[in-house]
Structure 1
Amino acid sequence: MHPTPVFIITLWLVALNLCCYTQQTADQRANAKTKQILAYITDLPKQGKMLSGQFAGYSPDTFNAQQIDEIAEQTDQVPAILGCDYACGWSFKTPPENIIDYTCNPTLKEHWNEGGLVTVNMHLPNPVSSNGGGYKDRWNLNYADLTNPNSETGHRWRLFLDRIAQGLDDLQLAGVTVLFRPLHEMNGDWFYWCNQNPDTFKNVWRHMFTYLTNVKNLHNVLWVYSPDQSRSEPSKYYPGDAYVDIVALDVYTDDPNSMKGYQEMIGLNKPFALGEVGPQTINGQFDYTRWLSAVQSVFPRVAYFLAWNDGWSPIRNRNAFAFLNSPRIVNRGQITVNGGTSTGSSSDTSSSLNTVLYNFSNGVSEWKGSNVIGGPWQSNEFMVKSTESLKADIQLSEGGRYVLYTQQKSTFNLSGRKRLTAQARVASWGFSNNGKISAKLYIKAGSAWRWYDSGEVELNSKSATTLSLNLNQIFSGELNDIQEIGVEYVSNAYGYNTAIYLSYISVE
């Protein structure tokens, strides 16, 4: 008896579902948490969900959490995945393995402990060079030498791997699973590892996997294969199922619906992600919610994305709040594995810990101004999260200090809190040449009215500047006795009249 076509199709769909969604880690000895996280990522698209992610820079040159803090302030959410690049491959240093830097690890650990995931990629220097650099240059590199430790290039590459292993093992000792995305965009033509002979590239990947997994005993790693969507044949360099946990595409486009290579990549039957994502045109006008509709209607297998930083970031473009607060998006603290939080002990979302003290939409309350010539008033000239601001007019002078403050103690409840933040801005008019204004958020605490501040940050007239005061430096007894909260603005030069703004003061 021959099975009917319907029965054959049913069996095929069942098999497809099993192969696509029952994933084993490439590392057969991966630790339990790493296996659980892969299973969780694999399952997310079936729930109509995807993890948010944000790249935070190159360690040590540009890596910092400032943009993550800005995202939290503007959207009430912290991205689920925090990304760091271990190597500034354009730098020169002898020996070149010291270019590989993992001083971002403490921040990655903190993010993990707060209920997030972490990812690491690298722009490694060219191993043919004895002093680094050359991440975009072929020079006289024979790529096959990378797997030959007896060659000078291969020996140097082995030292690179040893240094990478130190960083990944530091995270392993802290219980952190890493989404590891090496040799990305290999189908392009801009890095030295790009457009190599496919068989040679696969051998280099397999050698790296075997060395880090079996020799260096790293069992906290999920391996991410991430070509670029703008080039053809993204699976051409795929090293094989035994060496990859997640497949991804790096996508920079103004039209998310136009992403190429998706069908080819999901055909590899691995969880699928957006390894890097951002607009192609950097003008602040890209609407990130377009990715929500594209994923829902065209690319439903997307399990997570990693937005690039600076001009590509959601908060440097449009509708970041709506994007990161979509029911489809899973942010830090919302990740669950086996019914619990996936990573650290914290299971609260950033928004549940964030309390707004003042947003000024209901007026100025008991806020006052010192050394101002008008105000403070409620203003809609500077809006944060659709809330209004406090405004005061000032006369610019060299070394001039202007303060917006309140002593309304009934609203102060900072006990057990970690951070106080405020959004500040200055008007564009009234300045002479090279004139500028800086600001610091401060509190006065205890019976002695002891002063604590965030440090001065230069303001601009185009967007909000986040002022952040670390409350961990303050004795708990003083946190229970806050006398005054305010922002001090400082002018560096004489000028004319201008305006200062203050908005959205919150405590975490």
Structure 2
Amino acid sequence: MGKLIKIIILSFIVLSCSQPAKKVESRKETPAILLLSKLNKLNDKGVLFGHQDDLAYGIGWRYDGGAYLQSDVKKATGSYPAILGWDIGHIGDSLNIDKVPFDHIKKLIVKGDSIGAINTISWHPSFLNDSINSWFKEIDMVNTLIPGGENHQELIYKLDLFSAFLRGLKRTDGSLVPIIFRPWHEMNGNWFWWGEDFCDNEQYKKLFQFTVNYLRNEKGLNNLLIAYSPDRQFHSEEEYLKWYPGDAYVDIMAMDNYYDFQPGGEGLDAAVNKLEIVANVAEKKSKLAAFTETGFDKLEHQNWYSQELLPILKQKELIKKISYVMVWRNHDTTHFYVPYKGHPSLPDFLKFKNDEQILLLDDIN
């Protein structure tokens, strides 16, 4: 763990030297470094379980801005998840991409942190007055956003909005809430304009590097750990690292994988092999590993948690060392990933939750 902390501190130093430097505090006790230390300590206990938008809404309810925290995971298991996922798509508007008020997201991130949960943020961005969403593929968008591109100032504008959002996430002692930020994810797929069909890997690396440099160095944010998370479309370390921006820009090696669990996917053995590649690269680089997005929509496979996800997390020694796994959101009864009361997959989810390898919030507090 000490080696990993030193590498992350060195990464901060490298980034600080890559642009005109502002005065930066000692990195040894920043929120990011303290979160890294916490994750490393928890890594010896098991795999943290997370859920996207868990405190914001669920089956039959939405957060109303009050003090009471609802959660579909808590309703199902008696405990909040250890990892809380959020998205800042539509940053600058009043509502995020999933129609959650940004004011509520701020409040819930701080509340989640105060009860011991760990927050992670993804970004499905939109640009040019929201005319270009994350799935728009008709222009060479990445090339216009990187330094020298015609829309580069708009990227800076969006990052400034995100920076202001992050600076509003304060603990009672005045320090910033630590965040795992997962920008430009699933870049090896073909569904986002930063995907491999719409930019080359060198353009992508410039986009990723500028994003991290700007937030950490230019804006002086000390509360970010950065996750690199390709989709499941790789079969070797070389393929996994094709888009990798460099050790100085990444703290967590990760993967998103839904499709291998579906009919027509490559199956469980392939999912295990890919997650093992991630874990192996993370170990070589002295970084954490994570399974940042997964799940089975509507849980039509009622024993998915105990018969598919759990065996994957326990099958190989390296995989047992991954930091966390996060499933996607509970929008309504037509789109959900955590069972609600009365759903036939609930007993299986409880079996998964009760395994000693799986850690919810009550298991780490």
With the shorter chain as reference, the TM-score category is: 0.7 to 0.9
Deviation of 1:261 (Å): 2.5
Give the residue type in structure 2 aligned to 1:184: H
Kindly provide the amino acid, as one letter, of the partner of residue 81 in structure 2.
P
**1:59 and 1:85 in contact (8 A); partners too:** no
Aligned to 2:138: 139
Partners of 1:286 and 1:88 lie apart in 2 by: 35
Aligned CA distance change for structure 1 residues 139 and 264 (closer, same or farther; 3 Å): same
4+ runs deviating over 4 angstroms: 17-23, 28-31, 57-60, 62-68
In structure 2, the residue matched to 1:499 is none
Among 167, 170, 173, the alignment partner of 1:169 is: 167
Higher radius of gyration, 1 or 2: 1
Would the alpha carbon gap of residues 309 and 131 (structure 1) be closer, same or farther in structure 2, given more than 3 Å must change? closer
Distance in 2 of aligned mates of 1:208 and 1:81:
23
Superimposed CA distance per residue, residues 202-243 of structure 1 (whole angstroms, 9 cap, x where no aligned partner): 111111111111111110000011111135522211111100
**Which residue does the alignment assign to 1:315?**
339
Deviation of the 1:331 alpha carbon? 1.9
Maintained 8 Å contact 1:250/1:274: yes
* Shift in CA distance, 288/50, structure 1 to aligned 2, threshold 3 Å: same
- Aligned counterpart in structure 2 of residue 200 of structure 1, from 181, 187, 203: 203
Deviation at 1:82, TM superposition (A): 0.8
Aligned-partner Cα distance in 2 for 1:204–1:58: 31
Normalization by structure 1: what TM-score?
0.55
1:258 and 2:258 correspond = no
SS state of the match for residue 175, structure 1? coil
- The question of whether the paired residues in 2 share the 8 Å contact of 1:100 and 1:163 is answered with no
Secondary structure at 2:12 match in 1: coil
Q: Tell me which residue corresponds to 1:245.
A: 251
Q: What's 1:82 paired with?
A: 84
Is 1:271 matched with 2:288?
A: yes
1:53 maps to which residue? 50
Secondary structure of 2:133's partner?
coil
Q: Deviations over 1:315-365 (max 9, x none)?
A: 254522222232222222543xxxxxxxxxxx5xxxxxxxxxxxxxxxxxx
Matched to 1:303, the amino acid is S
CA drift of 1:18 comes to 7.8
Query: How many percent identity over aligned positions?
Result: 23
3-state DSSP of counterpart to 2:324? strand
- Structure 1 residues 294 and 287 mapped into 2: Cα distance closer, same or farther (>3 Å)? same
Match of 2:302 in 1: 285
Partners in 1 of 2:112 and 2:50 — Cα distance? 12
48 and 322 in structure 1: CA distance in 2 versus 1, 3 angstrom threshold: same
Once the two structures are superposed, residues 231-257 of structure 1 have per-residue CA deviations (whole angstroms, 9 ceiling, x without a partner) of 552221111110000011012143544
2:53 corresponds to 1:35: no
1:216 aligned onto 2:219: yes
Do 1:58 and 1:86's aligned partners in 2 also have CA atoms closer than 8 Å?
Answer: no
Which residue in the other structure is 1:294 paired with? 312
State the alpha-carbon separation in 1 of the partners of residues 39 and 150 from structure 2. 40
Matched with 2:18 is none
- Closer/same/farther in 2, CA of residues 43 and 35 from structure 1, 3 Å limit: same
Q: What is residue 123 of structure 1 aligned with on the other side? A: 124
Matched-pair contact (CA < 8 Å) for 2:112–2:118: yes
Call closer, same or farther: CA 1:69–1:58 in 2, change over 3 Å.
closer
Q: Describe the SS at the equivalent of 1:111.
A: helix
Q: Does the alignment pair 1:326 with 2:329?
A: no
Where 2:320 maps in the other structure, the secondary structure is coil
CA contact under 8 A between 2:46 and 2:357: conserved in structure 1?
A: yes
SS at 2:75 equivalent: helix
Whether the 8 Å CA contact 2:30–2:222 is kept in 1: the answer is: no
The letter for the 1-side match of 2:52 is F
Shift of 1:262: 2.7
With normalisation by structure 2, the TM-score equals: 0.74
Question: 2:240 maps to which residue?
Answer: 234
Change over 3 Å in CA distance of 1:262–1:69 after alignment to 2: closer
Match of 2:19 in 1: none
Q: Contact 2:56–2:63 at 8 Å: present in 1 too?
A: no
Cα distance in 2 between the residues matched to 1:115 and 1:313: 23
Matched-pair contact (CA < 8 Å) for 1:53–1:80: yes
Give the partner amino acid of 1:292. L
d(CA) in 1 for partners of 2:48, 2:39: 8
- SS of structure 2 residue aligned to 1:227: coil
CA RMSD in angstroms comes to: 3.4
The structure that is helix-richer by fraction is 2
What is the CA distance between 1:24 and its match in structure 2? 2.5
Helix, strand or coil at the partner of 2:356: coil
Match of 2:73 in 1: 71
Distance 2:315 2:112 in 1: 31
Query: Which amino acid is 1:27 matched to?
Result: F
Residue-pair matches, total: 311
CA distance in 1, matches of 2:168, 2:362: 23
Paired amino acid for 1:267: V
Paired letter, 2:12: D
Determine the C-alpha separation between the residues in 2 that align with 1:306 and 1:64: 20
Cα pair distance change 1:132/1:160, threshold 3 Å: farther
Q: 2 CA distance for matches of 1:163 and 1:220?
A: 16
Are 2:82 and 2:361, in contact at CA under 8 Å, matched by a contact in 1?
yes
How far residue 100 of structure 1 moved from its aligned partner, in angstroms, is 11
The answer for unaligned runs of 5 or more in structure 1 is 1-16, 336-346, 348-508
Please list every run of 5 or more consecutive structure 2 residues that lacks an aligned counterpart in the other structure.
14-25, 262-266
After TM superposition, the structure 1 = structure 2 runs for residues 81-480 of structure 1, keeping only pairs within 5 Å, are 81-88=83-90, 102-103=102-103, 104-125=105-126, 127=127, 129-148=128-147, 151-171=149-169, 175-195=176-196, 196-231=199-234, 233-252=239-258, 253-254=260-261, 256-259=268-271, 260-265=273-278, 266-268=280-282, 269=285, 270-279=287-296, 282-283=299-300, 285-290=302-307, 291-298=309-316, 299-310=319-330, 311-315=335-339, 317-318=345-346, 319-335=348-364, 347=365
Change (3 A) 1:222 1:68: farther
State the distance in 2 between where 1:182 and 1:205 align.
7
1:76 offset after TM fit, Å? Answer: 1.0
